[in-house]
Each structure stands twice: as C-alpha cells, then as structure tokens.
Amino acid sequence: MPPPPLSILVVDDMQYSRTVLRNTLERIGYDDVRLAGSAQEAQDALAQRRADVVIVDWVMPEMNGLELASAIRLHDEEADRYTSIILFTSKDEDTAMLKAFHQGVDDFLTKPIHDIHLAARIYAAGRIAMLQNRLIETSSALETANRLLEHQSTADPITGLGNQRALNQRLEALVLETQARAGGFCLALVSLDQEDDDQQSDLSAEVLVGFAKRLRLAVRPTDLVARIAEEEFALLMHVHSPQDFNRDLFKRVLASITQDGIQTSEGPIAIKVSIGAHFHHSEQRLMTIRDLMKQVRINLEKARHQSSTHVVVT
C-alpha cells in the first residue's frame, strides 16, 4: 500500500546526505521531494510552495536546524498553517532532544538513518501536519461563519445599516464609557414618512435604501446609523465634551436628508422627516437605556406634531 501523498523538503548542507535521503524517500514511495542546501534555500523554497514535512540537519553553517525550525514556526503562525519538522543529527543526548522539542521540532532521527525508521517517522509527521491543518481550516471556517452570523444578527437586511441589536450594543458601550471617562453621547430617532401614500408599498424598499444612504452621508463616519423599525432610524453620536455638542446639528441633518426628495425608479419621492434627540453627559444623573429611549421617543413625538422644524433636542 503506497504512503499518503506528502510534500517533503530535505535541508542539509551536505549534498551527499541530501541525495541519499531523497533516494530513500523515493524508494519508500514519496515522489514530491525537494532539496535545499541551506536554511535560506529552504525558506525560499517554502515561500514558493509550502511543504507538509521538513527534514532538516541540526548542524549547518549560518543558520542551523533549530533556528530554521523557529523560523518555520513563525511563518506558520503568520500563514495559519502547520508544517511538521523532523530534525536529524548525530547527537543522541536527552538534553539535545529536549532542546529540539522546545524549539518546535516534532520528531528527530539519529544518524545513520534507517529506511524503516525514516518511513515510520515521515508517516507520523505527515499525519500530524494533516490533522493540525485540518483543525486550523475548521477553526478558520467556524470563525468566518461566526463573523457572518454576528454581522447578520446586527445588520438590517434592506439597508445594510445596523439594526436594533447593533444600536443596543453600541449604546451600552457608550453609557459605560461615559461613566468611566467622562464625555457624553447623543441618541436620536429619525422618523421617515412618504408624503404620497399611493406609492408607498411599491417603492418603500427603494426609498428606504436611498434614505439610508443619505442619512449615512449626513453624519460622521464614526457615528452609528441604524434602522430599528419599518420607517424609523437611530443615530448614536459620541461627544468628547458637552461643549462640543451643537444642538443645531440636527437641523442641518434634517435639511440635508430631505432636500429634493428620494430618487427612485419612478422618479423623486417627497418625504417628511421628524427627529427627536437627547444628549447625555457624564455630569448628569445616570439614565438607563430604557429611560434614554423613552426620553428620545417623547422628543420624537413632539417633533412630529411641530409645524415647522420637526426637530426636538433635549
């Protein structure tokens, strides 16, 4: 039964030793065997194409086998993969073995190397590399899936903005930061109404996407913009000091997002927008998130019933 396919790199500054090892490995059944005459050649070869197993001589000029093993481990860590390393040497002391394992070597062979011993060690090293790389790939896939799930759980599927959960997470963080480091934050609710109810059902998605883009551009990149209900959005802004907060900001935001209506496939759609906001800073009595939302919603309802600016900020 042929051995499993492996990519093997043999590193030895002695050409005769390299050739003997390659011939032995090919006789055992491994046909993907590369040779390197120095640690630098080995690193160049691994940069071009990775190897499953590296067999390296301990004693070499410039960079020895243990130093190369450390370099391979560092590269593996950066590349998220695993390379099995077998060190071959004439040293057979226990202290030498312990030092080799501490440097990241998986196994070692003592010269002269016998075919059966080499075959067994290569098989074991290949299996270690396969299992470790499979574990790394599985962990990477799980991490990617978790990131996707986390994004999906905090993103609005229509506009791509954050959702209620994203708002709650950021709001909790800002409340804690305000308590610990002073400063403040402003929470605003933005209500969107289409003035032409006949077009509302057919074009609602287009209007929402267009409005979301406009709202995103109207505030700072660091501000959170979220869609938390059918036609209700939230803005969350961090403020370093109370003196930095300008309540007229929302009048400018309102003018920016309502100008010329929202462009759709049927032409521009006129919209009506109301904004209720509340600014909280560290010198004020601590409010719970529920109380903050309640105050902002009260301000939003007041703004809706105004006949002029449709903005209320406390």
pLDDT tens, residue by residue, 194-213: 655 554 455 688 889 999 99
Percent of the chain with pLDDT strictly greater than 70? 92
Q: pLDDT of 71-80, one tens digit each?
A: 999 999 888 8
Does the structure show a pLDDT above 90 at 140? Answer: no
* Predicted confidence band of residue 302 (pLDDT cuts 50, 70, 90): very high
Q: Mean pLDDT across the chain, nearest whole number?
A: 86
Answering whether pTM is above 0.75, one says no
Predicted pLDDT at 143: 77
Q: Residues 6 or more apart from 25 whose CB is under 8 A from it? A: 8, 10, 33, 118, 122
**151 vs 14, more confident:** 14
Predicted pLDDT at 104: 81
Q: Would you state the torsion angle of the CA atoms of residues 242, 247, 249, 252, taken in this order, to the nearest 10 degrees?
A: -170
**How many other C-beta atoms are found inside a 10 Å radius of the C-beta of residue 9?**
24
Opening angle at CA 297, ends 296 and 299, nearest 5:
65
* Predicted confidence band of residue 12 (pLDDT cuts 50, 70, 90): very high
Asked if 188 contacts 224 with a C-beta cutoff of 8 angstroms, the reply is: no
Percent of the chain with pLDDT strictly greater than 90? 38
Question: Checking DSSP bridges between strand 8-11 and strand 33-36, what pairing results, if any?
Answer: parallel
Give the domains, in start order, of the chain with CATH numbers. Answer: 8-147 (3.40.50.2300), 164-313 (3.30.70.270)
269: closest CA among 213, 194, 218, 201? 194
Ranking 28-37, 109-118, 218-227, 249-258 by mean pLDDT, the lowest is 109-118
Does the structure show a pLDDT above 60 at 115? Answer: yes
Predicted pLDDT at 118: 87
Predicted pLDDT at 112: 77
Predicted pLDDT at 285: 83
* Predicted confidence band of residue 43 (pLDDT cuts 50, 70, 90): very high
Burial of 56 (0-12, 13-18, 19+ CB in 10 A): buried
Tokens of 48: 């071009």
Length of the chain: 314
* Predicted confidence band of residue 151 (pLDDT cuts 50, 70, 90): low
Tokens of 76: 């593996």
Q: Which amino acid belongs to residue 169?
A: Q
Ranking 146-150, 167-171, 310-314 by mean pLDDT, the lowest is 146-150
Predicted pLDDT at 186: 93
Ranking 151-155, 176-180, 288-292 by mean pLDDT, the lowest is 151-155
Separation of alpha carbons 107 and 122, rounded Å = 9
Ranking 8-12, 23-27, 115-119, 213-217 by mean pLDDT, the lowest is 115-119
